[in-house]
Amino acid sequence: MIYKEEGSIFSIESLNEKVFRLKIFSPDIAEKALPGNFCHLRVNQTYFPLLRRAFSFNKVEKDKNSFELLIKVVGLGTELLSRKNPGEKIDLLAPLGNFFSFSKRSENVVLLAGGMGIAPLFYLIDFLLKKKYSPEKITLFFGVKKREELILVEELVSSGIKLHIATEDGSAGYRGMITSLFYQELKEKRINLKNTKFYACGPNPMLKEVSSISRKLNINCQVSLENHMPCGIGACLGCVVNTVKGYKRVCKDGPVFDTREVILD
């Protein structure tokens, strides 16, 4: 079921210079949204910007009939969204796309987030914890360019999961790319390859690296992709990605793909 609804903005919370969290009241969507799903929203009722914007769910609180989106200001659309006020209405189309395939409670969960890629993985972690998964079985590798870009860390720490942080400039945690830290942990056998489900979301170069590590180690990792999506529901074919079975639609066949399947270049 896809809902086309008018949600109402609950709150808008700035997390750093560029990133904010938009909390929206919308009972039907909050009821149905799963980790990996996304919301396609209209920035305003004028024709510039014209197309809807896609954001994955960052948090869903069914009991409060609301959900949250994590948004970084990168252009006019996100800039206008950052200036919204509580109480304003917002035109939503959701939940869209597929969702992560979940691990069993007995399995380990390893997640790799690069920058804003934390958005859907944060919801996945929260979802699993609410389903009584043990936090000790969940490990998150979170990489950003510099310390100021680290967001949601307090909430992640208090959840009790294992957290590894990397910054490219070394201003916090491991100095370097998150994939390097991940590979190092793998080599030193601190991550169990068997009985583990892997998830990743982040910029394309990072996902390419995750993909190549996965191939090297013969594991599968579920990656959540981002793309511009004109229709968001699979009709226009304007957001395709290459896979071993030809082009697939990020909005409808994804946004979650297996590294065994997707060809990132």
Partner 1 sequence: MNPDLSVRIGKVKFSNPVLVASGTFGYGEEYGSIFDLNRLGGIITKSITLNPREGHPPPTTCETSAGMLNCIGLANVGVKRFIKEKLPFLRTLKTKVIVNVAGSSVEEYVKVVKRLEGKKGIYLLEINISCPNVKEGGIAFGSNPESAYRCIRAVKENTSFPIIAKLSPNVSDIVKIALAVKEAGADAVSLINTLVGMAIDLETKKPRLTNITGGLSGPAIKPVALAMVWKVAQRVKIPIIGIGGIMNYRDALEFILAGASMIQIGTGNFVDPECSIEIVEGLKRYCKENKIRRVGDLVGKLKT
**CA torsion angle 183 185 188 190 (round to 10):** -140
Q: Could you tell me which stretch among 42-50, 126-134, 182-190, 212-220 binds partner 1 (CB under 8 A)?
A: 42-50
- Contact between 247 and partner 1 by CB under 8 A: the answer reads yes
- Contact between 217 and partner 1 by CB under 8 A: the answer reads no
Find tokens 């944060």 and name the residue. Answer: 122
Nearer of residues 172 and 240 to partner 1, judged by Cβ:
240
Nearer of residues 38 and 133 to partner 1, judged by Cβ:
38
Binders of partner 1 among 46-75, rule CB under 8 A? 47-52
d(CA 133, CA 204): 29
- Contact between 93 and partner 1 by CB under 8 A: the answer reads yes
Binders of partner 1 among 2-31, rule CB under 8 A? 2, 4
DSSP-assigned beta bridge partners for residue 37:
none
Furthest-apart CA atoms within the chain: distance in Å: 54
Contact 23, 112 (CB under 8 A): no
Q: Could you tell me which stretch among 1-9, 27-35, 54-62, 156-164 binds partner 1 (CB under 8 A)?
A: 1-9
Q: Could you tell me which stretch among 14-22, 167-175, 206-214, 235-243 binds partner 1 (CB under 8 A)?
A: 235-243
- Contact between 80 and partner 1 by CB under 8 A: the answer reads no
Q: What is the DSSP string of 193-210?
A: STTEEEEEES-HHHHHHH
- Contact between 42 and partner 1 by CB under 8 A: the answer reads yes
Report the nearest approach of partner 1 to the CB of residue 228 (Å): 6
Order of strands across the sheet that contains 256-258: 174-175, 162-167, 138-144, 108-114, 196-201, 221-224, 256-258
Selection from 101, 133, 98 nearest residue 199 by Cα: 101
- Contact between 232 and partner 1 by CB under 8 A: the answer reads yes
- Contact between 261 and partner 1 by CB under 8 A: the answer reads no
Residue 168's φ and ψ, nearest 5 degrees, are -65, -35
Name, in order, each residue with C-beta under 8 angstroms of 147's C-beta and a sequence gap of 6 or more.
167, 169, 171, 172
- Contact between 241 and partner 1 by CB under 8 A: the answer reads yes
Nearer of residues 28 and 185 to partner 1, judged by Cβ:
28
**Residue numbers at the binding site for partner 1 (CB under 8 A):** 1-2, 4, 42, 47-52, 91, 93, 227-228, 230-242, 246-247, 252
